[in-house]
Structure 1
Amino acid sequence: MESTRVNRPGGGRRDRVRDLSDLPKAHLHLHFTGSMRSTTLLELADKYGVRLPDALTADEPPKLRATDERGWFRFQRLYDAARACLREPADIQRLVREAAEEDVRDGSGWLEIQVDPTSYAPLLGGLIPALEIILDAVDTASRETGLGMRVLVAANRMKHPLDARTLARLAVRYADRGIVGFGLSNDERRGMARDFDRAFAIAREGGLLAAPHGGELAGPRSVRDCLDDLHATRVGHGVRAAEDPRLLRRLAEYGVTCEVCPASNVALGVYAKPEDVPLRVLFDAGVPMALGADDPLLFGARLADQYEIARRHHGFTDTELAELARQSVRGSAAPADTQKQLLSGIDTWLAD
């Protein structure tokens, strides 16, 4: 860990560690319901008389292990239970505003929040009304907090590819309202990436970046499929690429950003301990990374915590942490002036 030396009154010296919450950064991997504060979930559940699973009402994050189908099903069940508490536009507005506030507190200057609007449509009047409510909430939260904020629409690989095409067309239609990318989420062990190639072609042709999940629950092959079949410009997670040196070189050569979520990887059992997450392997191979919180509601760790894992468990110096922050900004869909401002802020953080 890199520290700076500052003078004490009277001529003494002490170590000062830079605050990672002050490090400007972009947040590129945050799921919609998973961004919710636990206190907000409890209040909404009480409001609507929803009986939550005990794992969501405890003082600590639930114990999860999603490396087998039973564990993944339990994770999804908890996520679905939380989502069932989002029933009115005011709930959506609150979630988005609070997610923005948490990001600002952690030093984020740009957030791309990921959502499958079909999951919210039944309680919000249909697919298009749901998406418009979400986009309005993002626009309002961005104005009120000063956080640059956009949306990445994600299809569910557990559903039919035709559903993904519908979502891709809708995402393109609303690109001028703040949608910047198209993703593919849920268990990457189910369904082939190539089944969704047409949906991603629609999104790319409409000017959206491609950011499917891969290389989390499945190995390097799932990352290669994202590149070969979906022409990914970013990969959600991607950490299992560390198992394939040739794939690492390919990601580095083409500048494909991996949205790495260390706390999530450990919570879901992809790796046993924080120090097992291959952050150093990817970094040293030159693979661009954007650290993300994934689902802080379920994993108990937000954005700055991911940088703390890199510092504490992988020995990243402040210079290297600053470079991770730069990589998150460069991998984002933020406008050039926003990127310039954030990169300048990173330099200032490092110089202090």
Structure 2
Amino acid sequence: MSEWQEFPKIELHLHIEGGAPPEFIRQLASEKGVSLEGVFAEDGAYAFRDFGHFLQVYEAATSVLRTPEDYLRLTRAVLAESAGHGVIYTEMFLSPDFCGGRDLAAWREYLAAIGEGAAQAEREHGIIMRGIVTPIRHFGPDKAKETALCAAETAGDFITGFGIGGDERAGKPRDFAWAFDCAREAGLRLTAHAGEWEGPDSVRAALDDLRVERIGHGVRAIEDPGLVERLARDGVVLEVCPGSNVALGLYPRLEDHPIARLREAGVKVTVSTDDPPFFRTTMTQEYDDLARAFGWGAEDFAEINRVAAQAAFCDEAIRDAIVKRLEAAP
């Protein structure tokens, strides 16, 4: 067992469908008589060539998730896997696009099932989950508005945030300003994928046009020293997913990844897996690899988790509880 497996961790950037174990998706496909030809490699893992193909494989795999009961089972499976790698608190991206086609009544049914799965996982594994509603960027601004209305109508103790995922190259952040304004007015906290496939300007646009407090990925900010200074000065938190970035070819090796340089420049960074089985990673694997590449130890990871705890989209009672669990770690 890795020395980092039981180390208590907080994860802020995890797509619920992207966390689906391949065997879980194969089982569902078998139950439903669905062919998933081309989705899996010979060793049973997900197979894709590049980011564009990854999105296609992702949507093909999620096509077997068709009912609230499917999502209840998925939630339990993903949270059990996370808890097995020391995660005590996680925020998952949930999309009404996949859960009821952005129909509010259907979304409520899916959300109730996800919430039930989360409650079961908390009882069984001690892991706490909160949801961040995300429109799919390449589905366009109009559908994002529908998703924002779903989010606003279900904001509360469980749905605490709003973000945007999908193909970062589709449209501009300002195209989605209405959706983010709607979510903000409903009391949801805001994040956005940026600075992954588009450069530093995409991070700046997410901050200026969407007024988010966290950035999903954000690593290409390193290409603009002025932006790095701004992130550090304003305390913007980056949800960094190193294994994802390397698996998709954004950086050739982890040693080339800018997470350490960003942190050294005073930027608040956290560590997450994004879509772990797709990228053949886990939170334990991320810690193992970061320790090897950058010489990070227990205090480095403890600091990163303290940053994540303060940045979490949860109420103060939950924050206090997870901070105490972090502090109780040997």
Q: Report the counterpart of residue 301 of structure 2 in structure 1.
A: 321
Contact 2:2/2:288 (CA < 8 Å) preserved in 1? no
1:145-294 correspondence runs (5 A):
145-176=125-156, 178-294=158-274
Q: Report the counterpart of residue 275 of structure 2 in structure 1.
A: 295
Q: Report the counterpart of residue 83 of structure 1 in structure 2.
A: 62
Q: Report the counterpart of residue 285 of structure 2 in structure 1.
A: 305
2: CA distance, partners of 1:123 / 1:192: 22
1: CA distance, partners of 2:98 / 2:47: 24
Runs of 4+ in 1 over 2 A off after TM superposition: 60-65, 87-90, 122-146, 334-349
Is residue 93 from structure 1 mapped to residue 72 from structure 2 by the alignment?
A: yes
2:160 is paired with a residue whose SS is: strand
Is residue 24 from structure 1 mapped to residue 12 from structure 2 by the alignment?
A: no
2:156 is paired with a residue whose SS is: helix
Following superposition, the deviation at residue 122 of structure 1 comes to 5.2
Q: Report the counterpart of residue 330 of structure 1 in structure 2.
A: 310
Contact 1:219/1:241 (CA < 8 Å) preserved in 2? yes
2: CA distance, partners of 1:179 / 1:130: 13
The structure-2 alpha-carbon separation of the partners of 1:288 and 1:312, relative to structure 1 and needing over 3 Å to count, comes to same
2:268 is paired with a residue whose SS is: coil
Residue type of the partner of 1:51?
A: S
Residue type of the partner of 1:26?
A: I
Residue type of the partner of 1:155?
A: P
Alignment length (residue pairs): 329
1: CA distance, partners of 2:68 / 2:142: 27
1:53 is paired with a residue whose SS is: coil
Q: Deviations over 1:21-48 (max 9, x none)?
A: 2222211111011111121112112111
Contact 1:262/1:309 (CA < 8 Å) preserved in 2? no
2:270 is paired with a residue whose SS is: coil
Residue type of the partner of 1:78?
A: V
2: CA distance, partners of 1:336 / 1:131: 23
Residue type of the partner of 2:35?
A: R
Residue type of the partner of 1:240?
A: R
1: CA distance, partners of 2:54 / 2:143: 23
2: CA distance, partners of 1:91 / 1:231: 34
- Choose the corresponding residue for 1:342, options 322, 325, 328: 322
User: After alignment, is 142-151 or 130-139 more displaced?
Assistant: 130-139
Contact 1:18/1:318 (CA < 8 Å) preserved in 2? no
2: CA distance, partners of 1:341 / 1:58: 43
TM-score w.r.t. length of structure 1: 0.87
Following superposition, the deviation at residue 18 of structure 1 comes to 8.2
The structure-2 alpha-carbon separation of the partners of 1:278 and 1:36, relative to structure 1 and needing over 3 Å to count, comes to same
2:13 is paired with a residue whose SS is: strand
Contact 2:216/2:240 (CA < 8 Å) preserved in 1? yes
Is residue 133 from structure 1 mapped to residue 113 from structure 2 by the alignment?
A: yes
Q: Deviations over 1:50-69 (max 9, x none)?
A: 2223442532644545xxxx
User: After alignment, is 210-219 or 124-133 more displaced?
Assistant: 124-133
2:277 is paired with a residue whose SS is: helix
Q: Deviations over 1:295-317 (max 9, x none)?
A: 11211112222222211112112
The structure-2 alpha-carbon separation of the partners of 1:321 and 1:270, relative to structure 1 and needing over 3 Å to count, comes to same
Following superposition, the deviation at residue 200 of structure 1 comes to 0.6
Contact 1:290/1:331 (CA < 8 Å) preserved in 2? no
Q: Report the counterpart of residue 102 of structure 1 in structure 2.
A: 81
For the aligned residues, what is the CA RMSD? 2.2
1: CA distance, partners of 2:262 / 2:229: 10
Is residue 43 from structure 1 mapped to residue 27 from structure 2 by the alignment?
A: yes
2: CA distance, partners of 1:202 / 1:120: 20
Following superposition, the deviation at residue 177 of structure 1 comes to 5.1
1: CA distance, partners of 2:161 / 2:235: 17
- Choose the corresponding residue for 1:59, options 14, 38, 43: 43
1:320 is paired with a residue whose SS is: helix
Unaligned runs of 5+ in 2: none
Q: Quote the sequence identity (%).
A: 36
- Rg comparison, structure with higher value: 1
Residue type of the partner of 1:108?
A: V
